[in-house]
Amino acid sequence: MLFNSFIFLIFLALVLPAYYLLPRRLKNPLLLVSSYVFYGYWDWRFLGLLLASTIVDFVVGWKLHDTQDPRKRKFLLAVSVCFGIGILGFFKYFNFFVDSFNSMISTFGWRLDFLHMNVILPVGISFYTFQTLTYTVDIYRRKLEPTHSFLDFAVYIAFFPQLVAGPIERASHLLPQMQRHVPFSRDNFRMGLVLMSTGMFKKILIGDTAGRIVDQIFAKPRYYSSLELLMGIILFSLQVYHDFSGYSLIARGTAKMFGKDIMVNFRQPFLASNITDVWSRWHISLSTWLRDYLYIPLGGNRKGARRSYVNVMITMALGGLWHGAAWNFVLWGVAHGVYLCVHRWMLKGKEATHRFVFTGLNRWFATYVVKVLGTNVIFLFALLIFRAKSFPDLFHFWDRFFIHWTASDFTGRVITMTLSFIAVTLILDIIEYVTEDQAFLLRLSPPMRYGIITVAWFFCLVYMYQARPMPFVYFQF
Amino acid sequence: MSECSRDMKRILIICAKFAAAALVTLVCFEVYFRTTEISLPSFVIDDPVLGRAFKPNARSALIQEGFYMGRINKYGGLGPAYAPERTEGALRVALVGDSYVEAFQVFPKWNLRSVLEEELSSRTGRRVEVLNFGLSGQNIRTMYAYYKDQVTRFQPDITLFIVVDDSFFGRDKKKGPLCYIDEDGNLKVNYDFAKSDMYQRKMRLRFTRELGSFQMLQAAFARYQLGETPQIVLDKFAPRKSVKKRESPESEATDPNFRLNKAVIEEFGRLNRSGSSRIMFVGHKEVPPYYLPVIAETGLTYIDLRPELDEFQRSVTDPYYWPVTHSRGHWNQEGQRFIGNYLAGRLCELMDQKTTR
């Protein structure tokens, strides 16, 4: 079920009142059933996988808690990790590795085509697998007590607002919320509505509208001029951002209506003044997951500078691979690894600056603007690797940007379109940045707030009605 | 002041604030839709003679099967603004047809008009001006009215009518001129649509076409009229709409439009013989076979693109395939180029034959 669909709104309108009307003991069963309905709406066959993953980690969690023997504990952790990574590896990466192996051995004239299988990627597998892993790893590290209730755990894993595209919630944060239920509160509902409205606007009227242009340009880049290709990549960055941050806002808003708090996943990444700052603002739940469950276990920066660079590269390359089973994603991860290493080397042990405070149109502000622009340029450069359909297409983009620049027949319009999308992004982000609040609309008086929300919803619904709904970009990961 | 009037004042202030915020947001959305070209003011207008026509100098952008971005020229046509007066020494070709010729799926640089103009120029070494008179939903009868009222103004040397089966079977729209055969058996065009209530109502509401946000509403309304609401709202729970394949008449006896279509073709034949403009038919999909002898009898040239397109599809790529929507539809960029190249070759051959004779 897509958030940007009428069927989801109907679903929510049925589940939300039912949740508050039902007695306490039936609230979690309702959340579990509705979450499974939400997930099974795509393909009910993968519900078994979700359930299996939940059972394995629940059992392993208990066994880990009960066992003191370090070897046994390691074995149990290995079972959980192997199961999680195993299903992820099979459904997501099997064909990728087979095809890569085939193209390698084809240089010797051999092929093992029969190994290629028609495997469908279950929606959200990368997200819920990582989420279940946090549970067992945290118990292994003795940072978390296992839950007694399978139902609470199953709801934590399958909670529909964040099931298919995160944020990847830590058990220590979300699980306790599944064990207590707050009564209906107008404040929660109001905040949820505001977050959901902003998210819908971002997803439907910015992300999807930009995405329609992006899809066309990247499908046949040879038919577009350099300027149009540049518009394509800039709009893609805005599409991914609004698509995913919009999703996260809708997830936060929906969860808030149920009285649950979900973590903030994006903090105005395009206002970051360096690449390290970008990663503290972009897909925060994944970047912190990679830091805590991959980079630090690899040794982090505890084993010397050189080793820390290697660790960053491994983390980012695997982070790239997490996004999709293709070499361009790995390369994108490697590019970001290089950026982070270079930035770390430039910092020479100093802390990276994170928050800019406006003190007027002075030299500091000018430096900040230049740094933001530079950061966005290198971010876009890597993003092109991420989005290009194939390596020849990628080289075509580079050729059109750096060697054979071609003019557009619609220069003025292309620039205006691109700047308009950038402007609306900046307006939203600057307000969020200054107020440090994603629900900034709550600061307005109720009539003004609802005046804005009514018009925004009206156009979201009209656009949803007249245009084919676009799935969220991150669903494919 | 009584408590009641104080409450009333408070409610009025709340309503005023709500309305003001809504209005400002509405204006912001309108600006956003226009500048990002998500939804532009309409580039189509209602014309009392042509029915549906393009608005001169209007910006246009569409994303459907493909991505189109263009501007209507100052004469209300697609492509470069070639004046109705002939350019000395230039060969002028007019393309008349439906949405295939209109080509709102590709940038103008890649459409049939541009390719044909470029190819003909390079093959003949002459200045060539190709004019695009494509308009979606046209059938052969409305093409005739359009030819008479609009195309002839531009005095083309050659006019290519690009037709498919729908050009013969397609129903007439109430919003445009209608062909009919008068009591003396002559082909005539009726322009009474401009007097109809529906047309007058549309004219009164034409200001709404100047709003991008209204165009978005109109697109939604079009889907509503197609009966797609259950599918859009209920998704998988809505009953699947079975697509009824329209049954095409098998012979002239069962074709209700045959007499009128035949009269139109014969009129084209007469115009062709009069020598004002050479008229040709180009078929790229199944054209009802019983029309082919009619075309042949009138002495009009008929170019059948189907064998070439089939071969192109087999050996190179599908000219109707759109990768983003994973669907087959209008000609894609490769299809437009192929047809442009092919037609340029055929036109050069035909022009050579005429010179030799």
User: pLDDT digits over A344-354, tens only?
Assistant: 999 877 777 76
Phi-psi region of A337 (alpha: psi -120 to 50; beta: other; left: phi over 0): alpha
Question: What average pLDDT score do residues B25-53 get?
Answer: 94
Q: Which of A153, A154, A96, A159 is CA-nearest to residue A328?
A: A96
| Closest alpha carbon within chain A to B222 | A466
Question: What average pLDDT score do residues B204-208 get?
Answer: 88
Among the partner-chain residues A5, A6, A451, the one whose CB lies closest to the CB of B19 is: A451
Chain A and chain B share a number of CB contacts under 8 A equal to 106
Q: Which of B345, B206, B188, B193 is CA-nearest to residue B282?
A: B345
CA B243 to chain centre: 24
Encoded amino acid at A161, one letter: P
Strand partners, B189: B179
| pLDDT at residue B93, rounded to an integer | 96
- Residue A388, min C-alpha distance to chain B (Å): 14
Chain B residues in contact with A215 (beta carbon < 8 A): 324
Q: Which of A338, A354, A355 is CA-nearest to residue A346?
A: A338
- Residue A80, min C-alpha distance to chain B (Å): 36
| pLDDT at residue B356, rounded to an integer | 59
**pLDDT tens profile B81-129:** 999 999 888 999 999 999 999 999 999 999 999 999 999 999 999 999 9
Residues 6+ apart with CB under 8 A from A428: A198, A202
A42 touching chain B per CB within 8 A: no
Largest CA distance in chain A: 72
Portion of chain A with pLDDT greater than 90, in percent: 77
Active-site option among A65, A116, A283, A323: A323
Gap between the Cα atoms of B307 and B313, Å rounded: 10
For residue B43, pLDDT over 90 is answered with yes
Element (H, E) at B163: strand B158-163
**pLDDT tens profile B135-154:** 998 999 999 999 999 999 99
Strands ordered across the beta sheet of B278-283: B128-134, B91-97, B158-163, B278-283, B301-304
| pLDDT at residue A181, rounded to an integer | 86
Classify B44-241+251-356 by CATH class: alpha beta
Question: What average pLDDT score do residues A36-51 get?
Answer: 92
SS3 A318: helix
For residue B196, pLDDT over 70 is answered with yes
Between chains, do B36 and A417 touch, taking CB under 8 Å as contact?
A: yes
Chain A residues in contact with B21 (beta carbon < 8 A): 444, 447-452
For residue B357, pLDDT over 60 is answered with no
**pLDDT tens profile A55-113:** 999 999 999 999 889 999 999 999 999 999 998 888 888 877 777 777 777 777 776 66
Q: Which of B126, B82, B131, B129 is CA-nearest to residue B102?
A: B131
- Decide if A343 is catalytic: no
- Residue A423, min C-alpha distance to chain B (Å): 10
Question: What average pLDDT score do residues A277-285 get?
Answer: 93
Residues 6+ apart with CB under 8 A from A230: A401, A418
Gap between the Cα atoms of A34 and A16, Å rounded: 10
For residue A120, pLDDT over 80 is answered with no
- A101-105, A120-124, A435-439 — which is least confidently predicted? A101-105
Q: Where are the domains of chain B?
A: 1-36, 44-241+251-356
For residue A475, pLDDT over 90 is answered with no
| pLDDT at residue A304, rounded to an integer | 86
Which residues 292-321 of chain A have a CB within 8 Å of chain B? none
Q: Are B219 and A466 in contact (CB under 8 A)?
A: yes
Interface probe, candidates B40, B59, B67, B224, chain A, greatest A C-beta count within 10 A: B67
Question: What average pLDDT score do residues B345-349 get?
Answer: 92
Residues 6+ apart with CB under 8 A from A229: A217, A221, A397, A400, A401
Among the partner-chain residues B14, B235, B237, the one whose CB lies closest to the CB of A447 is: B14
**pLDDT tens profile A56-66:** 999 999 999 99
Find the distance separating the first CA and the last CA of chain B, reported in whole Å: 99
**pLDDT tens profile B268-286:** 999 998 877 899 999 998 8
DSSP string covering B216-267: HHHHHHHHHHTT-HHHHHHGGGSPPPP-PPPPPPSSTTT-TTHHHHHHHHHH
| pLDDT at residue A57, rounded to an integer | 94
| pLDDT at residue A378, rounded to an integer | 96
| Closest alpha carbon within chain A to B232 | A465
Question: What average pLDDT score do residues A260-275 get?
Answer: 94
pTM: 0.92
- A123-137, A341-355, A415-429, B49-63 — which is least confidently predicted? A341-355
Among the partner-chain residues A213, A417, A451, the one whose CB lies closest to the CB of B25 is: A451
Gap between the Cα atoms of A444 and A420, Å rounded: 25
Gap between the Cα atoms of A438 and A432, Å rounded: 6
For residue A188, pLDDT over 80 is answered with yes
Residue A424: both structure tokens together: 């609306």
| pLDDT at residue A477, rounded to an integer | 64
| pLDDT at residue B253, rounded to an integer | 84
Phi-psi region of B76 (alpha: psi -120 to 50; beta: other; left: phi over 0): left
| pLDDT at residue A448, rounded to an integer | 96
DSSP state of A352: P
For residue A249, pLDDT over 60 is answered with yes
Chain B residues in contact with A41 (beta carbon < 8 A): 236
| pLDDT at residue A116, rounded to an integer | 63
Q: Are B26 and B32 in contact (CB under 8 A)?
A: no
For residue A39, pLDDT over 60 is answered with yes
Half-sphere exposure of A222 (CA within 13 A, CB side): 6
| pLDDT at residue A300, rounded to an integer | 87
Among the partner-chain residues A217, A420, A445, the one whose CB lies closest to the CB of B17 is: A445
Chain A residues in contact with B35 (beta carbon < 8 A): 416-417, 419-420
**pLDDT tens profile A316-341:** 999 999 888 888 999 999 999 999 99
How many C-beta atoms surround the C-beta of residue A24 within 10 A? Answer: 9
SS3 content of chain B, % helix, strand, coil (to 5): 50, 15, 35
